[in-house]
């Protein structure tokens, strides 16, 4: 007997089917926790006696170095799991070193042919890397390529804005170099490869400091000097400008604030001679500044932080200001930039006596000073005051202590030109 709404006046209960359980899809290999081969404490597994004998023959010094490197790159890539970002960094490194990474077309090798090949032949057929035999006459320098790639090409092509992005590059390249050493791929270059690994370690720390300093731009002390004595900030300066930055809420620096910043910086961090000379020239109206010409920037030679007493003085007397330390430097000329247009007399003097070198003393807020280190190259406009110190405007670029610009990047993707076939009309005219 059925029951309906008309009989009882109550709604009938309709059973609700149980929800179906979703089937779990297979997790991709990249998510299964399998090591990638680039972990901090990862090491290659021990090889068998048969594998050792095979590698002794594969990497014997009697074989051309180009063939050994090709095999080393292919076997390294086979035993590592590279995600797209890491693979792009590694491939660009190989290209920078003169290795072709363009995909092959398996010239004449079909599936049937693959079945008749051993593992090594299949690996070579499927590999995307090859070394032009014309490059065999070029000098091989693993350390120079590492320094050039990590300090000159990588920072500006990939623009790494986190420390992890920098480590992705340095760890990948260092792992490859370690593979070459562990498997004795090219023993005649062992010392050079060891130096290249050390360069990877140096670049890991320096590149991140360079990035942080460049992102900051400039500090209040050097900005104040630019407003008061000359520079980009003075050209833009408008008196009593109350504009407030929508990003950080800071009010535009006035000349009064700039004078306070400079006065405290010189009084706390400067020497008595510099402070007294600055005061005398400022009162007498003889204080002048000039922009140094024909230089690209400066190389850091020393960093000096304030002691505890000076730090406490800032906190007690000027809590609204950032403490200022001292940055020592010397003239730097970027070898990657074109030469300056000099007169014949200047060029002769430079050739005879070398490039002129001048020592600098800067004042820099300690929040930026902690990113500086000896050997760092800073590209910026440098100004000289006639009272014994210098200041610089916004940091344009920052290079590491092992900065090595090479022409390798100009050859990336380059192909040897070939003659084009002559047109039919041109051939007929030449025959006549």
321: which 2 tokens? 């200001």
Scanning the structure block, which residue is given the tokens 């950080």? Answer: 248
427 lies in some domain: no
Whether 45 and 76 share a structural domain: yes
Whether 227 and 177 share a structural domain: no
87 lies in some domain: yes
389: which 2 tokens? 């110190």
131: which 2 tokens? 């070394």
For the chain, how many structural domains are there in total? 2
- What is the model's pLDDT at position 101? 75
Whether 232 and 204 share a structural domain: no
9 lies in some domain: no
Percent of the chain with pLDDT over 90: 48
Scanning the structure block, which residue is given the tokens 């024909």? Answer: 294
Contacts of 351 (CB under 8 A, 6+ apart): none
- What is the model's pLDDT at position 45? 66
25 lies in some domain: no
CB 357 within 8 A of CB 330: yes
Which SS3 state, helix, strand or coil, does residue 39 take? coil
pLDDT at 44 over 80: no
232 lies in some domain: yes
Give the domain range for residue 104. Answer: 35-214
Whether 203 and 281 share a structural domain: no
65-74, 102-111, 186-195, 338-347: least confidently modelled range: 102-111
- What is the model's pLDDT at position 1? 43
Scanning the structure block, which residue is given the tokens 């006696």? Answer: 49
Query: Which of the pair, 378 or 98, is modelled with greater confidence?
Result: 378
pLDDT bucket at 30, cuts 50 / 70 / 90 = very low
Write the DSSP assignment of 150-199 as a string of letters.
Answer: IIIIHHHHT---SHHHHHHHHHHHHHHHHHHHHTTS-GGGHHHHHHHHHH
Whether 210 and 120 share a structural domain: yes
396: which 2 tokens? 């344009």
- What is the model's pLDDT at position 86? 92
pLDDT at 392 over 90: yes
Rounded to whole angstroms, how far apart are CA atoms 412 and 97? Answer: 9
Cβ burial, residue 320 (10 Å; 0-12/13-18/19+): exposed
Q: Which of 362, 363, 394, 360 is nearest to 379 (CA)?
A: 394
57-66, 140-149, 290-299, 410-419: least confidently modelled range: 410-419
Mean pLDDT of the chain: 82
Query: Which of the pair, 264 or 27, is modelled with greater confidence?
Result: 264
pLDDT at 334 over 90: yes
- What is the model's pLDDT at position 3? 44
Write the DSSP assignment of 248-289 as a string of letters.
Answer: T-PBPPPHHHHHHHHHHHHHHHS-HHHHHHHHHHHHHT---E
Whether 288 and 385 share a structural domain: yes
pLDDT at 390 over 50: yes
- What is the model's pLDDT at position 251? 61
- Segment 241-262 mean pLDDT: 72
Percent of the chain with pLDDT over 70: 75
Whether 228 and 209 share a structural domain: no
Whether 39 and 185 share a structural domain: yes
pLDDT bucket at 367, cuts 50 / 70 / 90 = very high
- Segment 59-66 mean pLDDT: 89
Rounded to whole angstroms, how far apart are CA atoms 222 and 325? Answer: 12
15 lies in some domain: no
Scanning the structure block, which residue is given the tokens 């290209």? Answer: 95
Phi, psi of 356 (to 5 degrees): -65, 135
pLDDT at 105 over 70: no
76 lies in some domain: yes
- What is the model's pLDDT at position 427? 54
Rounded to whole angstroms, how far apart are CA atoms 202 and 205? Answer: 6
Rounded to whole angstroms, how far apart are CA atoms 83 and 74? Answer: 16
Whether 323 and 366 share a structural domain: yes
- Segment 281-305 mean pLDDT: 94
247 lies in some domain: no
- What is the model's pLDDT at position 396? 93
For the entire predicted model, the pTM comes to: 0.79
Whether 118 and 265 share a structural domain: no
pLDDT at 2 over 50: no
User: Highest-confidence range of 203-207, 230-234, 419-423, by mean pLDDT?
Assistant: 203-207
Scanning the structure block, which residue is given the tokens 């091989």? Answer: 140
**For strand 377-379 and strand 359-365, is the pairing parallel, antiparallel, or unpaired?**
unpaired
Whether 108 and 182 share a structural domain: yes
Rounded to whole angstroms, how far apart are CA atoms 230 and 301? Answer: 25
Question: Count of residues for the chain?
Answer: 432
21-35, 41-55, 132-146, 255-269: least confidently modelled range: 21-35
Q: What angle do CA 63, 131, 166 make, to 5 degrees?
A: 115
- What is the model's pLDDT at position 417? 76
Alpha-carbon distance values, 218 to 38, 162, 378 (Å): 36, 20, 12
Whether 146 and 266 share a structural domain: no
pLDDT at 41 over 70: no
- What is the model's pLDDT at position 432? 58
């Amino acid at each position: 007997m059925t029951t309906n709404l008309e009989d009882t006046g109550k709604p009938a209960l309709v059973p609700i089917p149980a929800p179906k359980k979703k089937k779990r899809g297979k997790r991709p290999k990249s998510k299964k926790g399998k090591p990638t081969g680039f972990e901090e404490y990862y090491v290659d597994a021990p090889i068998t006696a048969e594998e050792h004998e095979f590698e002794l023959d594969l990497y014997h010094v009697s074989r051309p170095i180009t063939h050994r490197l090709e095999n080393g790159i292919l076997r390294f890539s086979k035993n590592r799991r590279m995600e797209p970002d890491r693979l792009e960094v590694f491939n660009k490194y190989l290209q920078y070193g003169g290795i072709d990474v363009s995909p092959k077309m398996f010239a004449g090798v079909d599936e049937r042919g693959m079945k008749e090949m051993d593992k090594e032949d299949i690996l070579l057929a499927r590999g995307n890397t090859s070394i032009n035999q014309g490059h065999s006459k070029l000098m091989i320098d693993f350390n120079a390529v590492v320094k050039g790639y990590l300090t000159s090409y990588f920072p500006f092509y990939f623009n790494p804005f986190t420390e992890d992005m920098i480590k992705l590059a340095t760890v990948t390249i260092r792992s490859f170099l370690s593979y070459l050493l562990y498997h004795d791929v090219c023993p005649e270059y062992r010392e050079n490869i060891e130096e290249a690994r050390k360069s990877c370690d140096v670049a890991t720390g320096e590149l991140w400091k360079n990035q942080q300093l460049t992102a900051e731009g400039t500090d209040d002390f050097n900005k104040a000097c630019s407003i008061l004595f000359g520079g980009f900030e003075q050209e833009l300066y408008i008196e009593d400008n109350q504009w407030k930055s929508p990003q950080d809420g800071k009010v535009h620096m006035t000349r009064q604030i700039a004078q306070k910043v400079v006065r405290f910086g010189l009084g706390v961090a400067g020497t008595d001679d510099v402070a007294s000379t600055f005061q005398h020239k400022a009162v007498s109206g003889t204080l002048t500044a000039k922009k140094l010409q024909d230089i690209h920037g400066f190389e850091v030679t020393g960093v000096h932080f304030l002691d505890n007493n000076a730090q406490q003085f800032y906190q007690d007397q000027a809590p609204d200001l950032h403490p200022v330390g001292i940055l020592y430097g010397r003239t730097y000329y970027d070898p990657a930039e074109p030469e300056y247009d000099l007169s014949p007399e200047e060029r002769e003097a430079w050739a005879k006596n070398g490039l002129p070198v001048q020592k600098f003393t800067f004042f820099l807020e300690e929040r930026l000073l902690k990113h500086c280190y000896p050997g760092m190259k800073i590209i910026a406009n440098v100004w000289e005051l006639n009272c014994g110190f210098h200041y610089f405007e916004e940091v344009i670029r920052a290079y590491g202590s092992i900065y090595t610009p090479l022409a390798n990047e100009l050859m990336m993707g380059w192909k040897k030109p070939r003659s084009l076939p002559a047109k039919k009309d041109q051939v007929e005219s030449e025959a006549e």
